[in-house]
A and B are shown apart, each in its own frame.
Chain A
Amino acid sequence: MKAPKFSYVRAESVEHACKLLAEHGDEARILAGGQSLIPTLNMRLSRPALLIDINRLEHLAGAIFNGKEVRVGTLTRHADVMLSHMVAKYLPLVAEAIPHVAHVAVRNRGTFGGSVALADPAAEMPACLLALGGRLVLQSVRGTREVAAEDYFHGLYQTARAPDEMLIEALIPPQTSDERSSFKELSRRHGDFAVAGVAARARVKSGTISNVRLVYFGSEVKPTLAKTAMAAAEGKIWNDATAEAVSTALASDLDPMDNLLGKPATKLHWQRVLTQRALDDITSKAKAA
């Protein structure tokens, strides 16, 4: 459990980091919180030649609302997302999800951008980004581009980010006052990656739900927008019949992985239960408001 040899450079600026990424390509890795990267090095599961440490680029940390959207810097620690007033005010879905991310010690080091860059299928932040229609800002020596969350997550640890690109920040539209959101997940122990989970949002008007967005994670290879289930719920009163229709539709949206955490049928079952609970939660939050 000792990492193989690697070189280490502390990035002086984003440009410096991008230059190094351009030079070393897939041989280099950005080092953010290190909570996922360092274990893979120690287990010799990955052996990059160069680590580019961005921890001193403090301007990449923090969440602000610029009047249009919330910008979450890549280096924002999970712990700071949890404490952020901006997040609490404009992104209640993220605020509800973040306590599910790992444990205190890991949240103190682990970063928002690290989680997005890694794209673990059970990670909470990617699911929230997709549910909220966020965009990701990527920079390289070739320039800067924005990628919508829907186009960013490609598969198991696969994203739209090119090897020479660095993730800079996420741009997330604020949740509107007439919508409600809910975040539900199941994990074997608190802080473990989820075995199933849903990030849900909708507008609720006199019992009718619209603008429904349901994103599933944990069971799928990547955060997954459940379009058929969303259509089945859209414009409907949230009742047993709608729940049934959504539950049925979910089977065509999801393709759960078969692994140690459960069989595909079990995971589909869990996602159905969580969907029911999330939409119950959304409608009861609407009632309470």
Chain B
Amino acid sequence: MTGTVTPKARLTPHDRPHSYVGRSLSRAGAKRAVAGKGRYTDDITLPRMLHAAFVRSPWAHARIKGIDIAAARKAPGVRVVMTGAEVAKLCTGPWVGTLTCFPTMKSAPQFPLAVERACWHGEPVVMVIADTRALAEDAAELVEIIYEELPVTVDKTTALGPGAVVLHPELGDNLAFEKTIDIGNVDQAFESADLIVEETYDFARHTAVSLEPRVLLADWDAASERLQIWTSSQTPHMIQHVIANTLGIPDHNVRVVAPDVGGSFGLKIHTYGDEIATALAAKVLGRPVKFVADRLESFGSDIHARENLIKARMAFTKAGDITAVDFDVVAGAGAYSQYPRTSVFEANQILNITAGPYKHKHYRAKATVVYLNKVPSSQYRAVGHPIGITVGESLLDLAATKLGIDPLEIRRRNAFPDAAFPTKTASGVKLADMSFTRCFDVLEKSIGYRALRADQAALRKQGVYRGIGLAAFIKGTAPGPNGYYGVGGAPISAQDACTIKLEPNGGIICAVGVTDQGQGVNDVMQQIAASALGVEMAAIRIISGDTDATPYGGGTYASRATAIGGEAVHQAARALRAEVLELAGVLLQAKPETLDLISGKIVDAATGMERLPLREIGRIAHFQVGQFPNTVHPQLSHTRRFRLLDDLYIFTNGIQAAHVEVDMETGFIKHLKHWVVEDCGRVINPQLADEQVRGGCVQGLGGALYEHCVYDENGQLINGTMADYLTPMSTEMPDIVVEHVVTPTSASELGAKGVGESGTGAAPAALMNAVNDALLPFEARVTAQPITPESILIALGRV
């Protein structure tokens, strides 16, 4: 090989021959999962293992007057039966789901199981531990609980009114949290507006429905006083602390392992009483105990989300400029604020992001979060975004219609231009490295916007009603350290870390704080490490989801894994690479700057000529370290941590489009096609990124069209089965075209932003706008989600 490479053209991690960043490598874990070789928590069976089942409250609100466990205790195979009071006695104290970053919020203390009162339908009251789950369920039926049914509060709009039943009398009322943002002069802007549009939007409660339910297996080793937990979790370190703290064990004596996880979507970043009680039972009995939430208990105990009613208005000039935004959110939390992340985050996020893509200046938004006798609500994929984006985008379309402006044009007119960044939204959040202008252009071309509009007009004449809906969005990803959680007092880390090690044979062990839930986080970390280091994928093994084996980290949530954890991997790999080149320089008597590490080989940077395989460095540095002079101390292991500096989030941006056909006689919607153009910065693995966007869209569309936790007036959850709770299925889902505009974030060297939630965030808005566009000739609109066929018929005045 002839050396014509100039020093200026020195290769970067992204363009070396074996650079994996930007390539759609197939997921190593996928083959295993498809072959049925995945190892989930429920696949783990320990000797002497017992099983937990819970007696759950059949009432939404009831005083527990008495519990008779005698018959259950005598039932076959039963090892222990514990009431809420007994469990509470063994805890160091109750949880209180408040954070100091939400200064005005309040919540009641909560124990793992209900003690004196049950406050929602499905709250665990008694735990039964038996030899098998079936025996535990048999015995659970024999537990006799005398309840005194109490009146309930289930309607968020009257929860603060006179006469409302106060869930927790010690709090005074049902108010969990109240916050107002008031920027500029909103009243004056509305007074001088050419056009005001106003609507009320109603979002139904729904839940995550992960394929693998919540599950926890606990094993107490009395000899070493250590507790080992296997659990389907996104956040092993947070769970470690919560369990340790509640059971009174030092954190480092609790090991939390998250094996394969079958989907999580935010539902597995929370603390659940039944899981903590299971861990407690293992400690009390000195035997391993497993709890697997079945589908029925999942509906009644996994966090719910999205229950919000929003009265909103927007002011415009004749030309179509947004001059002010004003809205009022009433959010229905459940019976308690979910520990430790709280139940007020969603409303807070709605205040942050509504109408976020646009450069208006007068902004007032008020959030009121109230307690209800329902399952506690909390963070679920794209927290608050589906709601805030729907409100902003829907009002914008309404104004576009009234002003006779094309929906794409009104967005172009109002969105921050690409040259505007960094900037701040009216709500006060910083936006940087964004690309609305380019995204709009790509979308317009991708969907053939003009032709689609012409087609729509022609079909209308034939009585076929199609609609095109657009939704531009900003999406908060990768939270920084000064916003919420940790800074508010929660045991949650905003940094994440990677420890990377060179093994004697040249293999690389890379332990990361972020976790994989089936979306391919581990594969992405491997691609980043291989590229930054300069080795082949096969040389690297990723370890995640084990508090004993990985550096402390926040885990995977809020689209942070690649943006935060990925940068930590990138930095750690670069540190190891620098050391490897140092050591090679010593052995080869060359300046490290003249060497490079490419595809696992030390090469001459200028000529590309191979000098030494990496495994030789490993071998010598581990086994023949005496070859190095006394001044050289090979470390071969590097840890790097990464966090954002002052920013609240790394915001991403984009636009989605939905194309639907509405059957005006039946109200049924056919979703013909869906497009997403988004900017998640550097794309590490395009296929995985695309599938995150697609899966995210489907989850968003589920909420827009089907999903609804239906409560009756007594607080009974009346559709908590897979037969009655409708999730989106592939037959109804459209093809989803995904395109990326790449503006790397300036917050990191890698340049990756989060991608896992933007699909979910804006799909409901695009869908609702498309439906309303189809309904336009009938002057009908829908403003509630899920949009049911019946709701369309009602809007049309046909029933």
Contact = CB atoms under 8 A, between A and B. Distances in A.
B49 interface: no
Contacts of A188: 706, 726, 788-789
A238 interface: no
B701 to A, nearest CB: 12
Interface in A248-289: 260, 262-263, 265-266, 269-270, 273
A205 interface: no
Interface string B113-140: 0000000000000000000111001100
A1 B729 contact: no
A269 to B, nearest CB: 5
Nearest to B665: A273
Contacts of A85: none
B729 A190 contact: yes
Contacts of B134: 2-3
Nearest to B728: A189
Contacts of A269: 793, 798-799
A5 B141 CA distance: 13
B317 interface: no
B137 A263 contact: no
B731 A189 contact: yes
A260 B719 contact: yes
Given A2-B134, A43-B721, A269-B793, A186 B294 contact: no
B509 to A, nearest CB: 40
Nearest to A43: B296
B296 A1 contact: yes
Contacts of A163: none
Contact of B666 (A3, A39, A260, A270): A270
B793 A266 contact: yes
Contacts of B723: 39
B718 interface: yes
B295 interface: yes
Interface in B133-151: 133-134, 137-138, 141
A3 B706 CA distance: 29
| A interface, over-half SS | loop
A190 B733 CA distance: 11
Given A1-B294, A260-B719, A270-B666, A189 B732 contact: yes
B731 A190 contact: yes
A189 B725 CA distance: 12
B724 interface: yes
Given A1-B296, A269-B799, A263 B790 contact: yes
B102 interface: no
Interface string A1-24: 111110000000000000000000
A127 to B, nearest CB: 18
Contacts of A4: 137-138, 141
Interface in B713-741: 718-719, 721, 723-724, 726, 728-729, 731-732
Interface in A156-190: 186, 188-190
A269 B799 CA distance: 7
B799 A263 contact: yes
A169 B626 CA distance: 87
Given A1-B296, A43-B721, A269-B798, A189 B138 contact: no
A263 B724 CA distance: 16
B186 interface: no
Contacts of A263: 790, 799
A222 B718 CA distance: 22
Most chain B C-beta atoms within 10 Å of own C-beta, residue among A3, A192, A266: A266
Contacts of A195: 789
Interface string A198-226: 00000000000000000000000000000
A186 B669 CA distance: 12
A190 B732 contact: yes
A194 B600 CA distance: 60
A39 B295 CA distance: 12
Contacts of A186: 666, 668, 789
Contacts of B25: none
Most chain A C-beta atoms within 10 Å of own C-beta, residue among B138, B666, B728: B666
A189 B799 contact: no
A263 B790 CA distance: 8
A112 B302 CA distance: 37
A260 B718 CA distance: 9
B723 to A, nearest CB: 8
B710 interface: yes
B463 to A, nearest CB: 14
Interface in A119-159: none
A266 B724 contact: no
A195 B798 CA distance: 17
Contacts of A190: 729, 731-732
A47 B353 CA distance: 51
B279 to A, nearest CB: 22
A41 to B, nearest CB: 11
A5 B132 CA distance: 13
B387 to A, nearest CB: 23
A191 B726 CA distance: 12
Given A189-B731, A191-B731, A266-B793, A260 B799 contact: no
Contacts of A3: 134
A188 B133 CA distance: 34
Given A43-B721, A260-B718, A260-B719, A2 B137 contact: yes
Q: Which 9 A-B residue pairings sit nearest by Cβ, starting from the closest? A: A1-B294, A2-B134, A190-B731, A266-B799, A273-B665, A266-B790, A269-B799, A265-B799, A262-B790
Given A260-B710, A263-B799, 20 more contacts: A1-B295, A2-B133, A2-B137, A4-B137, A4-B141, A5-B138, A43-B296, A43-B721, A44-B141, A186-B666, A186-B668, A188-B726, A190-B729, A190-B731, A191-B731, A260-B718, A266-B790, A266-B799, A269-B793, A273-B666
Interface of B: 132-134, 137-138, 141, 294-296, 665-666, 668, 706, 710, 718-719, 721, 723-724, 726, 728-729, 731-732, 788-790, 793, 798-799
23 contacts: A1-B296, A2-B132, A2-B133, A2-B134, A3-B134, A5-B138, A44-B137, A188-B726, A188-B788, A189-B706, A189-B731, A189-B732, A190-B731, A192-B726, A260-B710, A260-B719, A260-B724, A263-B799, A265-B799, A266-B793, A269-B793, A273-B665, A273-B666
